Chain A
């Protein structure tokens, strides 16, 4: 009888260990404190181009993470990208004339949304839209523009010589 009790308590210990491991995995390894409707609010903005912005990308002010990208929808009429941002309720004091830009972490890092605060004393509420947005910088476009401008400079100067 004591043998079976010993066995049962060992099985109990085993299950307790698994539960402890699960707690470690959920709170220490993965950040379980997700943003949902209860602890956050949603704002949205239209971008010309979002580059490689993905869902769950960070939303920052001055480099401090305050939320994440919830979803990205293509507007069927204007062909702009409608980006929905979920901001933590701790940061309710974002002025309504703030501007959004999509930046890249490091040279080859992932894209994130950066908010530059404005000066208005009215703050963004749930469902509000931000109109002042700066699209992502696409490296290929910039190189293309650079090459194009170099070429046109050259042809301009050559044209000047001949005439």
Chain B
């Protein structure tokens, strides 16, 4: 794959953005987008660990993504801008546009002398009511993920998924069981909270999730009431209630205190029977903050771009399909991991 990278940077030597082993690079402005190795200046699409990494000298993100990035990366030099606001560096215009992935997530638009690129980070088209809703941005060069870039991935509308989740909670409550629902601490957890029916019972949260909730509430975003799981809570309080947990905590002794549980997992991967069984969850709910197959194709169509760079997911298959549609699509090897990273960064979620 090293060859592929080299090939692209050579043929695009004059291009506005190039793909290097540190990340997506704009030479003219000397900035990187979501770099995975330390650089001087980084533009960050959103706060997930594979896009927002430690070690950059200076960071730029949206206002609403800022608090979480600061919380996760600690003492960094971070500047924030509003959506649509233009920052000009050596003549190159940079602006952030809603990506609909998580709170504060953005597509980064880069323009120089009429050449327009959009690096979309992670995104979804369905408005989850919490993240700033996705807005298509016209461009000639579109950098896209393809986490679920296979035609087997088609989401059902979120109302139906949440109705299933709430029914599951109700049924568990009737049996006196604790409903343990897993989702990544940043993004999925808040989206689940937003869709849960608080009239069924109380919602308890794992520490890593509650820490993130606190950061998000502090920036003025309203989330349903939650109670942090702690030693002080009487174990008899849990039956019938719901515990929101990180996927990583499920294999830990932490989970034992809840007694009889039903385990639910919410993720796009739950589409596949194999993935549902591998997670050992009692219930798999298909809920993702990424695009499904039809959404990916729609998004690409909406940009009007003819040059598509596919960064992570089923890159080879998805770009081949785009080529059959007459687009100039190439696959790139990056270190972005999409929903896999969000599900499996256990160490990090355990910190809180």
Does A pair with B? no
Question: Which positions in B face A, CB cutoff 8 Å?
Answer: none
Question: Which positions in A face B, CB cutoff 8 Å?
Answer: none
